[in-house]
Amino acid sequence: MSGEMLVHTTAVELNGDRYEILVFCREDGRFFARTTFGENDIIIHDGTSLEEVLSKHEQVLSLAVTSRDVLQMVKSGHAKHRPELI
């Protein structure tokens, strides 16, 4: 991606897994945070400051991880044994 500069990296541990958060600044001065789960599985948040996007991203990351875990359990048939997750 051109016109973007990596300005911050951090990691969050959720459910025993580590997730990397990359924060970039665009040429127009806006920021975005990105976490990649897989080749076609990425979450991105944008905002006006590094602090804003990082805070927003960290809050939603937990929900994103949980929803992927639930989806995996449903696909594998394990969710019927954990009704609180569906």
Of 39-43, 50-54, 66-70, 80-84, the least confident? 80-84
- pLDDT digit string (tens) for 29-62? 999 999 998 888 899 999 999 999 999 998 899 8
Domain extent at residue 51: 4-85
How many structural domains are present in the chain? 1
H-helix or E-strand containing 44?
strand 41-47
Of the candidates 30, 23, 26, 15, the one whose C-alpha atom is nearest the C-alpha of residue 57 is 23
Q: In what order do the strands lie in the sheet with 41-47?
A: 4-14, 17-26, 31-38, 41-47
Q: What angle do CA 48, 49, 52 make, to 5 degrees?
A: 95
